[in-house]
Amino acid sequence: MKTYIIRRSLQSIVVFCAILVIIFSMLWLTGNPAEVLLPVDADQEAIDALSKEMGFDQPLYIQFGYYLFGNPHQGTGGLIRGDFGISSNHEIDALELVLSHFPNTITLAVCAVLIAVILSIPLGVLSATFRNTWIDYSSSVCAMFGQSMPNFWFGLLLILFFAVWWKVLPTSGYEDWTYLILPSATAGIYATARITRMVRSQMLDVLEMDYVRTARSKGLVEYVVIIFHALKNASIPIVTLIGLELGILLGGTVVTETIFSFPGVGYLVVDAIATQDFPVVQAAVALLSLSFVFVNLFVDILYAWLDPRISYS
């Protein structure tokens, strides 16, 4: 178990380093930064001079070194000190800006997962218990719709109903908890559908097991059998999926945040992209990828811990 945790953590570090390489190459796809910094009519000589001054004329691997450990030509600190550069829009440190929006994204992702869990577990359990009845059919149809629903359209529909027609909930910004309801419902719909289907199929497997039959033949009440014997044993893959969905949501609330003008990292990124503010984009991609890698690592270790039957060699 210990070796597994160490190996798995090392793997995550390798993955994160590779992500940094990708983020660095994103910078180079935009062209020579010197050209971007200078006015449009600058001649080649001026571009070369600035390239030399800033160190843009060095080979790429050295520049990557600068990027990670700081550039002596520019006096920047490098990623290792959390220096992604200065946001050109907000004129403050890019990472600081992203970090200040991060708690909102976490809140949104956690609320979305909570909604998903509260809805999907009872739905999945019910449809497995009452297999092939109208309860099962209607919950499966809902799950199918949920998986096929483009979440930005769902978000707009929610705005249309709850804000425009019934005027009961706010649509944009983030002031108190009522501002969280519509965005979390929008972000959580896909996770709800996926977890519902997973709970259903896991429960169907478990309900056929001998220990469930034993529990029933002992004369236990049905709901005790379902909840304490079946659901408990079906829970490991479900917990894993919930963890994975949380990871996906941390990085995937971009569209939801845009629809509701919710001040999270995703909204910030879309805004930064529109204004070519690349330090912010890079800092955001790095931070969200890091949290995704971290959540996945945690889920994998949790899985190994919950299910000791599986050996990881």
Q: Where are the beta strands (DSSP E) in 203-298?
A: none
What letter would DSSP give residue 93?
Answer: B
Q: Does 13 bind another protein (CB under 8 A)?
A: no
Q: Does 194 bind another protein (CB under 8 A)?
A: yes
Q: Does 85 bind another protein (CB under 8 A)?
A: no
Longest dimension (CA), the chain: 89
Q: Does 148 bind another protein (CB under 8 A)?
A: yes
Q: Does 281 bind another protein (CB under 8 A)?
A: yes
For residue 118, which of 170, 203, 224, 191 has the smallest C-alpha distance? 191
Which listed residue (145, 211, 228, 312) binds another protein by CB under 8 A?
145
Q: Does 152 bind another protein (CB under 8 A)?
A: yes
Query: Using an 8 Å Cβ cutoff, are 294 and 12 in contact?
Result: yes
Which ranges of 30-69 would DSSP assign to H, the alpha helix?
Answer: 33-37, 44-54, 60-69
Q: Does 128 bind another protein (CB under 8 A)?
A: no
Residues 208-247, interacting with another protein (CB under 8 A): none
Which listed residue (37, 92, 160, 310) binds another protein by CB under 8 A?
160
Q: To the nearest whole angstrom, how small is the minimum distance from the Cβ of residue 150 to another protein?
A: 5
SS3 content of the chain, % helix, strand, coil (to 5): 75, 0, 25
Query: Which CB, 119 or 285, lies closer to another protein?
Result: 285
How many whole angstroms from its chain centre is CA 242? 12
Residue linked to tokens 């014997």:
229
CA pair distance 122, 163, nearest whole angstrom: 28
CA pair distance 203, 187, nearest whole angstrom: 25
Q: To the nearest whole angstrom, how small is the minimum distance from the Cβ of residue 285 to another protein?
A: 5
Q: Does 37 bind another protein (CB under 8 A)?
A: no
Interface with another protein by CB under 8 A: which residues? 11, 14-16, 18-19, 22, 26, 29-30, 144-145, 147-150, 152-153, 156-157, 159-160, 164, 194, 197-198, 201, 248, 250-252, 254-255, 258-259, 266, 269-270, 273-274, 276, 281, 284-285, 288-289, 292-293, 296
